[in-house]
Amino acid sequence: MMRLEPRLRVPPALILTAPIVSVAVTLVLCAALIVWADAPVGRAYLLLFDGAFGSRFAITETLTRATPLILTGLAAAVAFRAHFYNIGAEGQLYLGALAAVAIGTSGISAPPVVLFPLMIVAGMAAGAALLLVPALAKTRLGVDEVVTTLLLNFVALLFVSLMLDGPMKDPTAMGWPQSLTLPEELEFGKLLERSRVHSGLIIAIVLAVALWIVNARTTFGYEMRAVGANAKAARFAGISVNTAMLKTALLSGALAGLAGVGEVAGRAGYLTLDMSPGYGYSGIVIAMLAGLNPLGVVLAAIFVAGVIVGADSMSRAVGVPTYLADVIVAVSLLSMLVATMLARYKVRWS
Amino acid sequence: MQPPVLRLSGITKRFGALVANDDISLDLARGEVLGLLGENGAGKSTLVSILFGHYVADAGSIEVFGKPLPPGQPKAALASGIGMVHQHFTLADNLSVLDNVLIGTEALWSPRSHRREARERLLSTSKQFGLTVDPDARIASLSVGERQRVEILKALYRGARILILDEPTAVLTPQESEALFETLRTLIADGLSIIFISHKLDEVLAVSARVAVLRQGKLVALRDAGALNKAELAELMVGRRVDAPVREPAAAYSTSDTLLSVSELAAGDKLQHASFDVRRGEIFGIAGVSGNGQAQLADALCGLLSAAHGEIRIDGRTVSAAPRAFIAASVARVPEDRGAVGVIGDLPIWENAISEHYREPAFSRLGWLRRGAAKAEARRIVERFDVRSSSLDAPTRSMSGGNIQKLILGRALLNQPAVVVANQPTWGLDVGAVAYIHTQLLAARDRGAAVVLISEDLDELFAIADRIAVMFHGYLSEARRDWTLAEIGLAMAGSRQ
């Protein structure tokens, strides 16, 4: 019979190798699907890698995709660390984008120096505001936040749809539900010529480093970790569990809202309902792959973005459906979960 | 000489580097009570789990009534006549006694219930052994002693001829314990054999014919109970001489020096009414059978539970119901569940050392943790209070229960608190750690602190408390200095003279 025994101390080397091993396992498992699609495994993976990192264009596309994923990954990582399960980053992202567009296209006559930060703050505030309700419901009434945040995604998306088909619709868009385009001076600057990489990437990476420092070095980070690891003991020690959880939730919602701001102001220029191919949900996967470590989130987001971008070019060349990208991301999450468990427990056979 | 009913030969079980059971050989005769003694972690539970088929031994074999017992099969253990009465009862509160006894004995798919015959059999079993219970009573309405009787009946109903009792007196009043021992005598007179697991030396000596002592997985002694005394037994169990701390009479603080004053406190659904004053330089003991409102009183005294009625005053000032308010009022708090409430197990030791004070300027500046100062504080606690750990950065849960308790105690006592509230501070600790914690509580008292000691262990209260009050059904009795064991037992069972 198989038994799992908890390790008293998990060796750091094991924690670091877990993601590498799980990615390797994922590639082996997904090879079966490539064989099934009648494609050569080696060439398919080579094309996937090439499409993700093989050229200047590939790398910039991957980094462009990674930008919102880092932010939603951070949103999930921060909240999950405090045991607040925010599944609603997708909705918060859209509301953040909507608020940014609302400010940016409102025609307020203010210089860009004022309007640009106002747009960012509005987006973050909108994301945080959407998470305020589930956070209060959880801390005051004990309502499960997984259910409320998940369902609010649909509310948020329908609200965005309502706005895009109504008051915020671009009259020149030939009937398509899309918003007005942001004025050029409110757009995030491009980092490189002839690419779509924008300064949102820098913001995301700086935030990841900042969060890592906050986690380890500040009293707020200490409270978040204490509440997440053991809320009962945190309360006994005099930490206000509800306040810490509320602050964490607002931070998480703001990060997801910022991801939405970056997508409209950095990449698309205007808001449509198909702007995010599930960045909010992918953020959860990324946070788990990163073991909730903010720095790990950056790497995990680049990995997931690479798989998505690379799968496109692989699909064109050898005819494996792009759905393989979703399968790879999903399988890597599952193997990461198994790997984390195996890192924390020893398997014994008796 | 009859053949033994149970024979363990060479039982060995390893968990990684830890040898939980090291070549243990024992036998149990018909009609015998064997006391199984050992500290926490000595290997008692492992041995019983192997016997019951929950674990498979790495080496060794078990024979029951002359037949080998297949390893790792709880069903086979039950069928061979081994019955177990757990310390934490395994009864369904919302079902009747009869239902609880029947659970698991009837075939899942059988269309016919055998309740009538079962009832007859239960009644005759209960009559045969003098274990009277009403088969139709709901478990929730029974006292702890009665529930234990149901557990024993359940085992007997299933045909147990060998009973294993795990810490059976931990939840009983002295009188209920006496009644249990009477029952055990009836059972062995009928030819049953009993393994009695305990860490209370007096009881083991009183009921057992022979005593087996485990220490660090090894069987260090197997002797007739008549040839042993308490001191020898303690030394065998711990492996060295243990000197209990000596309690000097309370220093002469004036009686007007009331430091902690609790008046007409009611809180939660269990605490109905508690009033008491604790003076400077006094240990105030609170006795009672578990579940009579002590947990709620302790929570209220730690700031976790707000009072529905009444108030808590420290040095004359009312303290509001918040952990921070109690910390600020210089109350040192030692919670009952040290692993789940006292510390955050996943965080490193140094972060737990400052968990009550991290907001103070000594440990944080403008929202930044002063890690150097925090680690220095942790080092002070670890050195002063003899906390053994590999490093301050190790996760706190990697330490033993005794060391976790010393960390909590050290964190609480380092700053010379005015009031100490300790709930079951020595529960489940080994003899050495118990003596250490008693010494520290006595030292706090001698320094002038008002100490509240809530405990279910009467020996502990008699050893170090100056006055003792008894909780029953949420009410606190008057505090007395001169309880006899019989009197306090009656008070714990709710009788008032």
- What secondary structure, in 3-state letters, does chain A show? CEEEEECCCCCHHHHHHHHHHHHHHHHHHHHHHHHHCCCCHHHHHHHHHHHHHCCHHHHHHHHHHHHHHHHHHHHHHHHHHCCCCCCCHHHHHHHHHHHHHHHHCCCCCCCHHHHHHHHHHHHHHHHHHHHHHHHHHHHHHCCCHHHHHHHHHHHHHHHHHHHHHCCCECCCCCCCCEECCCCHHHCCCECCCCCCCECHHHHHHHHHHHHHHHHHHEHHHHHHHHHHHCHHHHHHCCCCHHHHHHHHHHHHHHHHHHHHHHHHHHHHCCCECCCCCCHHHHHHHHHHHCCCCHHHHHHHHHHHHHHHHHHHHHHHHHCCCCHHHHHHHHHHHHHHHHHHHHHHEEEEEC
Note whether A236 contacts B: Cβ–Cβ < 8 A: yes
CB burial readout B35-46, b (16+ within 10 A) else e: bbbbbbbbbbbb
User: Which residue(s) pair with B462 in the sheet?
Assistant: none
Phi, psi (degrees; rounded to nearest 5) at B394: -70, 145
Domain limits for position A162: 71-279
Total of domains in chain A: 1
User: How many Cβ atoms are within 10 Å of B27's Cβ, its own excluded?
Assistant: 16
Query: How far apart are the CA of B247 and the nearest CA of chain A, in angstroms?
Result: 31
Residue A157 lies in a domain: yes
Determine which helix (DSSP H) or strand (DSSP E) holds B21, and give its type and residue range: strand B18-28
3-state secondary structure of B80: coil
3-state secondary structure of B301: helix
How far does A237 lie from chain B, in Å, by closest CA? Answer: 5
CA distance A162 to B243: 78
Q: What is the pLDDT along chain B (497 residues), one digit of tens a residue?
A: 578 899 999 999 987 777 889 999 999 999 999 999 887 778 888 898 899 888 888 999 999 998 998 888 888 888 899 998 887 788 888 899 998 888 877 766 767 777 888 888 889 888 888 888 888 989 888 877 888 889 889 988 888 999 999 888 877 888 888 888 988 999 999 899 999 998 778 888 889 999 999 988 899 989 998 888 888 888 888 887 766 666 666 655 555 688 999 999 999 888 998 999 999 999 999 998 888 889 999 999 999 999 999 999 999 899 999 999 999 999 999 998 888 899 999 999 999 999 999 999 999 999 999 999 999 999 999 999 988 888 899 889 888 888 899 999 999 999 899 999 999 998 878 777 888 899 999 999 999 999 999 998 888 999 999 999 999 989 999 999 888 888 898 898 887 54
Indicate left, alpha or beta for B457 from its phi (over 0: left) and psi (-120 to 50: alpha): beta
Contacts of A235 in chain B (CB under 8 A): 304, 323
* Residue where the block lists tokens 């971008």: A309
Residues of B with a Cβ under 8 Å from any A Cβ are 15-16, 55-56, 72, 302-304, 322-324, 327, 333, 335, 340-347, 351, 355-356, 358-359, 364, 367-369, 371, 394-395, 397-398
**Tell me, what's the pLDDT at A214?**
95
Residues of B with CB below 8 A from A232's CB?
340-341
Q: Which residues pair with B311 in a beta bridge?
A: B263
Neighbours of A306 (CB within 10 A): 23
Mean pLDDT by 10 residues, chain A (350 residues): 68 82 91 89 91 92 95 97 94 96 87 92 97 94 94 96 89 84 87 87 96 95 94 94 95 97 91 91 92 94 93 86 88 89 76
Q: Which two tokens stand for residue B103?
A: 């659970």
**122-181 in chain A: CB under 8 A from chain B:** none
| Domain presence at residue A152 | yes
Q: Which residues of A touch B398 (CB under 8 A)?
A: 8-9
A233 touching B (Cβ < 8 Å): yes
User: What b/e string do you get for B390-418 counting C-beta neighbours within 10 Å, with b at 16 or more?
Assistant: eebeebbbbbebbbbbbbbbbbbbbeebb
- Domain-located, residue A210: yes
Structure tokens at A91: 């909705």
C-alpha span between A78 and A58 (Å, rounded): 30
pLDDT digits (tens, 9 = 90+) for A245-277: 999 999 999 999 999 999 999 988 899 999 998
Contact with chain B for residue A12, Cβ under 8 A? no
Cross-chain Cβ contact A235/B347 below 8 Å = no
Residue A143 in domain: yes
> Residue B497: its pLDDT value, please?
47
A80 CA to chain B: closest CA distance, Å? Answer: 15
Strand partners, B83: B163
> Around B204, how many Cα atoms within 13 Å sit in the side-chain half-sphere?
31
Compute the distance between CA of residue A215 and CA of residue A225 in angstroms, rounded to an integer: 7
In this structure, what DSSP letter does residue B306 have?
Answer: -
- d(Cα A257, Cα B475) in Å, to the nearest integer? 54
Antiparallel, parallel or unpaired: β B33-38 and B210-215: parallel
The confidence score (pLDDT) of residue A325 equals 87
Q: Is A137 a member of any domain?
A: yes
* β-bridge mates for residue B218, sequence order: B215
Instruction: Please report the pLDDT score of residue B250 as a whole number.
Output: 63
Are A233 and B356 inside 8 Å of each other by CB?
no
**What pLDDT shows up at residue B1?**
56
CB atoms B344 and A226 under 8 Å: yes
Residue B303 near residue B319 (C-beta atoms within 8 A): yes
Distance from CA of B300 to the nearest CA of A (A): 11
How far apart CA B494 and CA B483 sit, in angstroms, is 15
> What is the per-residue pLDDT for B254?
57
Picking from B327, B346, B367, the nearest residue to A238 by CB comes out as B327
B291 φ, ψ (degrees, to nearest 5): 90, 15
B280: left (phi over 0), alpha (psi -120 to 50) or beta: beta
Size of interface A-B (CB pairs under 8 A): 76
Alpha-carbon gap: B261 to the closest alpha carbon of chain A (Å): 21
What are the tokens at B414? Answer: 């380092």
Domains and CATH numbers, chain B: 6-238 (3.40.50.300), 245-330+417-497 (3.40.50.300), 347-411 (no CATH)
